[in-house]
Amino acid sequence: MVKEMQVIGITIDPVTQSPIVILRDKENLNTLPIWIGMLEANAIAAGLEHLKLPRPMTHDLFKNLLDQIGVKLLRVEVTDIRDNTYFAALHMEVGGNSVVIDSRPSDAIAIAIRMEVPIMVRDAVIEKALRVDATSSSGAEKDKWTELLEKMDPEDFSKYKM
């Protein structure tokens, strides 16, 4: 099974100083933090802010390319987590054929935002992420993350700016 999720914000890990994109399902039952790079965080934030730059950035270029050649992006999907690395896929329709392309989740999310398609996450990814978090965090650190994620509100992110 898969759940549709949306980006509710981008924050910084207080320990590693790495950006984290936070996904949450529409029912507010599941929250999924994905650690990403600074450039990727900026690309996601630019998409969320609908920034129009004088020249297309990579994800804008990708969108423009798909639009021009008639490829339809149906959805993006976070498909797996292995060794603390997340995996994603772009689900497209090309000339009536289904095509699935491997992607980093940060790129998939940045493209999904620009193309206004659903961001889906497999239930197994959410379950694995919870297990990884539970086994890799100390009790105090786990409580800190649980508290942070429970308190998150899109208004806390100052329009997603880094």
Q: What is the CATH number of the domain that holds 139?
A: 3.10.690.10
Alpha carbon distances (Å) from 94 to 6, 66, 114: 25, 10, 19
Q: Taking the alpha carbons of 136, 29, 10, 71 in that order, is the dihedral positive or negative? A: positive
Give residue 161's pLDDT.
44
Which amino acid does the sequence have at 29? L
Structural domain count of the chain? 1
Give residue 131's pLDDT.
64
Helix axes 123-136, 139-151, angle to 10 degrees: 140
pTM for this prediction: 0.82
Give residue 130's pLDDT.
74
Per-residue pLDDT of the chain (162 residues; tens, 9 = 90+): 999 999 999 999 988 899 999 999 999 889 999 999 999 999 999 999 999 889 999 999 999 999 999 999 999 999 999 988 999 999 999 999 999 999 999 999 999 999 999 999 999 999 998 765 544 545 555 455 555 555 555 455 444 444
Domain that holds residue 128: 2-160
